[in-house]
Structure 1
């Protein structure tokens, strides 16, 4: 059965601090057609980092000033992202201001574990705190340990399970059903969805794989590498790669 990807409701988000982390968040929100307002106390940084984004509002504002946040109706936004790059003090004061003003949906960047612990101590919970370096490190480590191709994005949901997106590239699985390929969902793995020609659907055991299908996969750490290689084809070893490049 075909299912179309839902279009997200248009919301209005505030980004505090025009950092590199904030730029990634901004780009994602704009791709999803959301309204974005960026606040920073440095006009030069706003102009430099956001020069390519004509569709967003830019406001010069000191987020450590609670009155300034209140005057700019910070509580009216659907979500507020605290994305300051380097100064922990600025981040913490800003979060305290937002909490004092009754802002509910706060997401804050944490520079490191110490920063994360302090953010929790002042009132945020785990799912409101993002530590980019920790996420990146976990992803790199997972790719190395589980031998996942470097071009595949893999995310850890726990110590035992991972999710990833894989493109069907292995000719041996083309035009075969998931049942034939022993890829029917089990306690160890689950094919969550398949995207084909711009449409998303939920597979069953009779679903036939086609070249360039995009599969969202959730699997146990001890088997994810085998499943990925089965779907995309086993990448050549370094020796095989060198042999192919050696003239006859």
Structure 2
């Protein structure tokens, strides 16, 4: 196990040109383009994330207390190991402190989630993502210092609720009550250039893209004329984009 990082480095050097060797910064083996990551907790969330990262050509160290889960992903990941990551020494022996990123995918055991996140912070891992199962859990992780906190079940529930109750084709909400929505354009915004329809003034949203049937998505400008049946991507305050989509 102690040779894990060395094997990753050899693999990465074979796949990338030698000029990346000079990219390592003062943190040691970390570099701005480091694509090595530890995923701790190989349940549905962590396992899915780890395999998708592998598909995107990342080197993934998958860790879990369950030998059954580790065995399931052993052939799919760069390396998988049974480990109790609430023990900081276990993380150190695996070389997690030398990685630039780590994901804490533990959800059901809140104490373990908090302990592992704390261990990663103490180890100086600069980019830590942590899964939370409730807003309270998320607030604890944020106060602890986790760089990114995600609530996958809650966020997906909110997203689907918007799609079910509105006339949106897709919905993504960001911080500060700001959202991005894909919807069929309302008739009131069709037939004239966007600059003349005054969509932004009248509805408080900005049309950023347009998809005409049979054509690819294109950027929208003030001169773009939207036709009935076109799909548009709009941004703005959440209530504003919801109201605009419901005009369709």
- Same structural fold, with TM-score higher than 0.5 when normalized by the shorter chain: yes
SS in 2 for 1:135: helix
Contact in 2 for aligned 1:142/1:154 (Cα 8 Å): no
Where do 1:1-248 residues align within 5 Å? 11-26=35-50, 28-30=52-54, 32-48=56-72, 50=73, 54=76, 56-121=78-143, 123-124=144-145, 128-143=148-163, 147-149=165-167, 151-159=169-177, 161-166=178-183, 177-179=193-195, 181-183=197-199, 188-193=204-209, 202-209=219-226, 215-228=232-245, 234=248
Contact in 1 for aligned 2:168/2:182 (Cα 8 Å): no
Shift of 1:70: 1.2
Q: Deviations over 1:25-53 (max 9, x none)?
A: 335534544333211122211333x37x7
Contact in 2 for aligned 1:80/1:107 (Cα 8 Å): yes
Contact in 1 for aligned 2:138/2:149 (Cα 8 Å): yes
SS in 1 for 2:207: strand
5+ long unaligned stretches in structure 1: 1-8, 235-248
Shift of 1:136: 3.2
Shift of 1:85: 3.0
CA–CA distance in structure 2, aligned partners of residues 212 and 202 of structure 1: 17
CA–CA distance in structure 2, aligned partners of residues 198 and 57 of structure 1: 43
Q: 1:96 to 1:78 in 2, by over 3 A?
A: same
Contact in 1 for aligned 2:62/2:77 (Cα 8 Å): no
Alignment correspondent of 2:16: none
Greater helix content = 2
Contact in 1 for aligned 2:168/2:181 (Cα 8 Å): no
Q: 1:113 to 1:172 in 2, by over 3 A?
A: closer
CA–CA distance in structure 2, aligned partners of residues 16 and 149 of structure 1: 38
Q: Deviations over 1:40-81 (max 9, x none)?
A: 122211333x37x73543222221221221122212323110
Q: 1:200 to 1:143 in 2, by over 3 A?
A: closer
RMSD of Structure 2 on Structure 1 (CA)? 3.9
Shift of 1:157: 3.3
Q: Deviations over 1:82-124 (max 9, x none)?
A: 0013111211221121122111211111222332343244x22
CA–CA distance in structure 1, aligned partners of residues 152 and 221 of structure 2: 36
5+ long unaligned stretches in structure 2: 1-32
Q: 1:95 to 1:212 in 2, by over 3 A?
A: farther
Shift of 1:185: 7.9
Alignment correspondent of 2:5: none
Contact in 2 for aligned 1:39/1:60 (Cα 8 Å): yes
